[in-house]
Chain A
């Protein structure tokens, strides 16, 4: 993984000192809140419903044991003993006090972490496939490029005061696990005639106007990446709308001008930006690639794994759901579920973080990833070590065998924490997970992604959930709208709204009716929910959800 250079350390120390002085000036009243707000947001500090919230960047979701331990230390010392992993592969602390935040940032600096550009109208933390560097289906590890983008975009002078925030995601696998089509820019690593390059997708996004990104360039040679992205961002920075924040994202710019016109403008701009890049960026990329060299995968007998599979049903069940094929056949990718039934999706205690850090160091080549699905990944584990890892995880409440199933729910913090929320998300997720666990139905139901957002901004990715739930405030009462058939993969699609929303009491029964309909109508047990939906469409689900409407129509 990338480790900071002397230059990086000096930059971060200077930035933290600057923010410390800004906090002091706010506390004395020398800065008003209006003056302070943009400064604190640049450093990841929000003021939420009940407290400040510090959003710490986990660049492209990559951590090691030391970094995870530091996150645990922060949770224990300055929070209430836990942290919340988010759909942006970040971690949020819900309870810091203003005076302590500079100390938290200095503590993060000790392990090369920060909260810069996790908010504000800047280029945000670059996200990536959480199986990067490990997946059997990968063309190339996207993290060196993601790190290059992090260095390029951090404190980039031209891109600090843009029309709105800007998010970039990258995948090195044709199976898109990074939701690239729902980002301002999505990058898919591709090869053409032996040459490495990118398919560049622009103008995707969720929020109040969900859009699936469009291909602006189907093959961009690797060396052209930074000047090309600089061209895209600077074209948008000039023509993106600043008159209306709801129309400011690049998805609206692309929609209003058309992808062909945007491509023309970008090409025109690129002709100028390209000359400014002398090749130093490519030298830097080569140097960064050295930091991401794959570990020397150990050889060994996988018999202990095969034996445990045979004799230990709980382990087998966990292996079925929580393991993914690794590029090295003796190894596996472990997804640690942060979705224990009834728990808050994405929350991890300090003790859990420390356990994960220890497991990564002992068994996992000191590598950890955070997924946008709010789980933790040990990307490289020799199969012989899986039984020991499973036992250790179980003992700390981390052994839930539900990855990809109905209880593996994405949920934003919602109105339990967030000042923007219009309804709660967490209790809906908790109740759905508990309801299906009580009936022990989720393994029968199979792959099904529920994604819940507590407001229209869609941090919970509800538009691309197989079942999406959006919490709204309808005349002073929480109300939940359902969408079906959303898809977050390379076949990205925005879900279809089923009809009027449901109250907090009605939402779990409504999800149960959807699932019952699917179980009745699937062709066989191997047909996943999303495939059944693609085959039969919205109508049968609508009929199950609104029987009174059907009767009236008849």
Chain B
């Protein structure tokens, strides 16, 4: 039996800045908490195709698994956690920019 579909967000890197971005219903955000959570597999595949077609805006779009905590998406895998916050060794990156 196929595994049940778990919630996802579309994420990519910004073409010009290279930083991590997430798809919203109307565009893109740098905050995972504002990302559009996709709970339907067909819908998720479609949204990923739409994101991948924006070749002059985003790079490397893919679906990342999230869990919903207090109505907001949070990363499941530690790699996505680091992508959402930036490197841990210097106080810069997203953890500062988004403060």
Contacts and interface: CB of A to CB of B under 8 A. Distances in A.
A51 B18 contact: yes
A439 to B, nearest CB: 23
A50 B18 contact: yes
Interface residues of A, number: 32
Question: Which has the most chain A C-beta neighbours within 10 Å: B15, B77, B82, B89?
Answer: B89
Given A97-B17, A476-B78, A50 B86 contact: yes
A519 B86 CA distance: 39
A427 B88 CA distance: 8
Interface stretch (B34-42, B54-62, B66-74): B54-62
B18 A98 contact: yes
Contacts of B82: 49, 415-416, 424
A426 B88 contact: yes
A96 B92 CA distance: 14
A33 B62 CA distance: 14
A contacts with B: majority SS: mixed
B15 A27 contact: yes
B16 to A, nearest CB: 5
Contacts of A416: 82, 87-89
A369 B79 CA distance: 34
Contacts of A26: 15
B83 interface: yes
Interface residues of B, number: 25
Contact of A50 (B60, B77, B83): B83
A98 B16 contact: yes
A98 B15 CA distance: 7
Interface in A275-315: none
Contacts of B19: 50-51
Contacts of B59: 33, 47
Interface string A24-47: 001111001100000000000001
Contact of B77 (A52, A98, A476): A476
A402 interface: no
A270 interface: no
Contacts of B31: none
Given A50-B18, A50-B93, A52-B18, A417 B77 contact: no
Interface of B: 13, 15-20, 55-56, 59-60, 76-79, 82-83, 86-90, 92-94
Q: Which 4 A-B residue pairings sit nearest by Cβ, starting from the closest?
A: A29-B56, A416-B87, A52-B18, A51-B18
6 contacts: A28-B56, A29-B55, A33-B55, A49-B83, A344-B89, A473-B79
Given A473-B79, A476-B77, 9 more contacts: A33-B55, A47-B13, A49-B83, A50-B94, A52-B18, A98-B16, A99-B16, A416-B88, A426-B87
